Structure 1
Amino acid sequence: MIRIKKEGVLLKQTDLAFENEGVLNPATIRNGKQVLFYYRAVQHGNHSSIGFCRLSDPLTVAERFDKPILFPEHDYESKGLEDPRVVQIDGVYYLTYTAFDGVSACAALATSQDGIHFEKHGLIVAQMDYAEFLQLAQTNGSLDKRYPLYNDFNPRLWDKDVLFFPRRINGQLYFLHRIKPDIQLVAVNELTDLTPDFWKNYYLHLPDQIIMTSKFPHEISYLGGGCPPIETPQGWLFIYHGVHETDNGYVYVGCAALLDLEDPRKEIARLPYPILVPERDWEIRGDVDNVCFPTGAVVFGDTLYIYYGAGDEVIATGTVSLTELLNELLANPSK
């Protein structure tokens, strides 16, 4: 059994107004010997923006901006920008985040040439009423009963955890996303293909879009995206989060799977246990208890550094041998 070695808390909230309640769920990307580090910053009242740090090495903060790098500017994100993820495709930084307007929580996209100055492109997932989604998804067959369980609390569809693959696959852009309780996959030639008609047809064939669903006890309630997939010779290494309900509420853990390089719909392997679980004080007690929520990862040599929100309040780091993790995955092939 492999477990992440915990390196401790990397980033805490400050007295600055935009991050005086908490910092969590960062997006990370390697830039030479440095790491660009985009994190969810929460101010009192639970309003989020995206802060920025530069790490001189995977465990050292060298520079931290005193203002958010991205903040609410449009109606669709009026209540906050949450949980960023970042990749670089063809030299362009693609930063996705959850845009919250007080009713809907849906994924949005911003791009950058230098990793600092971003242009927002708006929401990139469907904007529709939940009732319309449910009708479409049930047209060609029954729907897992957990979909209504986790989604009918809100009149609008929530679609979060958008993670781009860091290169085109067979000429197409691929990204993962999550409508509870499963992880779904999108492949398009260009982002302009993501029209309302595209999404209606997509949800008419929802079972074909689901690539991962709950399999093991630690993820039995639901699962969702974590870190953007990492390309290895053995496949796309995918660090995701799993959730299970206990008498004391939900527990969020970090998990690992391996997807096929040329067809990410194919799951090669999945570990039957979590690699990152709440154990330390800052994970067990926080704004939300019992949370390890991995969202960023970088590779230096054979070491995989995983950055995660702990207790929905601080950001911590864990490390693991990439070779050992891949070997353990290959020893647990999916059926």
Structure 2
Amino acid sequence: MAGFQMKRLGLVMEPEPGNPLEVEGVLNPAGVRGPDGQYYLFPRLVAKGNYSRIGIARVKFNDAGDPAGVERLGVALEPETDYELRPNGGGGCEDPRITYSEALKRYVMTYTAYSPEGPRIALALSEDLFHWQRLGLATFRPYAGIAFDGVDNKDASVFPVAIPDPAGEPAVVILHRPLFPGTRPEETACQPASRVVDVHRESIWISYCPLGEAGDEPYHLCHFALHHRLACPVAPWEQLKIGGGTPPILTRHGWMLIYHGVHELAGPSAGAHKLCYSAGVLVLAPEHPRVILYRSPDPVLTPELPQERRGIVANVVFPTAIDRRDDLGLPDRFDVYYGMADDRIGVARLNVPEFLPPGALADPPRAETALRIDGRPQRESGQCVPLTIQGGSPPS
């Protein structure tokens, strides 16, 4: 096998006719194996006015072992707290990710709370997946003059095991992508193709919460004190933005996550920029996941099906859940659940190759270094590095 290969398995969930909780879409689910060994999805259920809840559903499999549908089981979280509700009556609990933490002996949910200040990362814990204890909003200490608090933040997920922090102490570790002003794809699309990329403010970050504090009092799990910058836009298919996707999961090569990248489609209509969300693969070192071992030069999944190209938001595949098929005795096979045009949920199968493919993209190891799209490093002083986006064609 030459590399990471993904094959669509089909549609697994779509809005239920007549269900007011789903009238504006079912999308971007968390997913995890429960204490009973069954696989559960936690989809974002969107009611009228973009009012979002987090549902819970059990995945049904066919005789071949492929996901074939779901059994709806209710609502796991709905907006209740001040950081999930807005003064105009809106609000939301959105786009969750769930990981079973071996260190905490509980499931950890990260989700987007649509707060009065904007989208923020919130956390909750559960022992059984049906009863959740809210922990509050995540907080982040400043780093090198960068203030994370007070900034929109989304698409967070945690590692299932304790990871050494920069001081070598075991920590609960979160991946997140702050949305600093000017770094949303709608904003970067307005900049020239050869633009200045601020590697600090356009990256996925790794942040650490000391495990001792989190273990003593679970509310400390929300407080992240140390940070590493992980990855910024490098390839044409992610030239406008990269961000988190599925929670990290251990493979034969290291920690793997399926992340998302955004680029602009040719031919804007009526002055609007047409964006395309695709998915790629990151593999991180098992002992120190701030080290990237592999990064796919091309996306492994792009919008192609009608359900992916037309919907609430067109041209979107957005991975958020992953299931290693140990239940089938196939540890190199993964089912990836993803949002389809912010409207439905699809599933695709990813096979991990025996060896990491050669020629993968790298990422700047320091703030002063960036990679041009042709892979050659260039150095600049300061935090911002010009990247010339060359080549690359949008999906047909």
Instruction: Letter of the 1:189 partner, please give it.
Output: P
Per-residue deviation at 1:194?
Answer: 5.2
Whole-Å separation in 1 of the counterparts to 2:222 and 2:324: 32
Offset of 1:20 from its aligned partner?
1.5
Residue 61 of structure 1 is matched in structure 2 by 69
Q: How far, CA to CA, are the matches of 2:295 and 2:334 in structure 1?
A: 17
The answer for the alignment partner of 1:49 in structure 2 is: 53
Q: Does 1:327 align with 2:355?
A: yes
Deviations 1:124-172 (A, max 9, x none): 1349xxxxx899329xxxxxxxxxxxx9xxx951011111001112321
Instruction: Output the CA distance in 1 between the equivalents of 2:144 and 2:98.
Output: 33
Q: Confirm or deny that 1:164 pairs with 2:172.
A: no
Supply the distance in 1 between the matched residues of 2:25 and 2:291 (Cα, whole angstroms): 37
What's the secondary structure of 1:265's corresponding residue? coil
1:185 and 2:206 matched = yes
CA positional deviation for 1:330: 5.7
In structure 1, the residue matched to 2:93 is: 81
Give 1:328 deviation, angstroms. Answer: 4.5
Cα displacement (A) at 1:116: 1.1
Separation in 2 of the partners of 1:187 and 1:237? Answer: 18
Measured on the aligned residues, the alpha-carbon RMSD in Å equals: 2.5
Aligned partner of 2:38 in structure 1 is 34
Higher helix share: 1
Q: Aligned residue for 1:299?
A: 324
| TM-score between the two structures when normalised by the length of structure 1 | 0.83
**2:78 corresponds to:** 71
Measured after TM superposition, the shift of residue 187 of structure 1 is 1.4
Q: What SS is found at the alignment partner of 1:277?
A: coil
Q: Are the equivalent residues in 2 in contact too, given 1:161–1:225 (CA < 8 A)?
A: yes
Runs in 1 of length 4+ with deviation above 4 angstroms?
328-331
- 1:136-175 equivalences in 2 (<5 Å): 136-137=145-146, 156-170=150-164, 171-175=170-174
What residue is the counterpart of 2:117 in the other structure?
103
SS in structure 2 of the partner of residue 77 of structure 1 = coil
Structure 1: which 5+ runs fail to align?
A: 128-132, 139-150, 203-207
C-alpha deviation, 1:23, in angstroms: 0.4
Deviation, 1:44, is 1.2
- For residues 70 and 318 of structure 2, the distance between their equivalents in structure 1, rounded to whole angstroms, comes to 24
Question: What amino acid is the match of 2:296?
Answer: L
Contact 1:55 1:62 in 2 (8 A): yes
Distance 1:17 1:270, change over 3 A: same
Q: Distance in 1 between matches of 2:30 and 2:221?
A: 26
Matched residue type, 2:26: V
Q: Structure 1 residues 83 and 260 mapped into 2: Cα distance closer, same or farther (>3 Å)?
A: same
Q: Which amino acid aligns with 2:15?
A: Q
Within a 5 Å distance, the mapping from 1:116-135 to structure 2 comes to: 116-126=130-140
Q: Identity over the aligned pairs, expressed in percent?
A: 33
The one-letter amino acid paired with 2:235 is F
Number of matched pairs: 303
Counterpart Cα distance in 2 of 1:126 and 1:104: 16
| Cα deviation 1:57-79 (Å, max 9, x = unaligned) | 350335212x4221001110110
In structure 2, C-alpha distance between the alignment counterparts of 1:188 and 1:315, rounded to whole Å: 32
Q: CA deviation at 1:299?
A: 1.1
**Alpha-carbon distance change, 330 to 120 in structure 1, aligned in 2, over 3 angstroms:** farther
- What's the CA shift for 1:332? 2.7
**Structure 2: where are the runs of 5+ without partners?**
86-90, 165-169, 180-201, 215-219, 269-273, 364-396
Distance 1:134 1:111 in 2: 27
Q: 2:19 aligns with which of 16, 19, 35?
A: 16
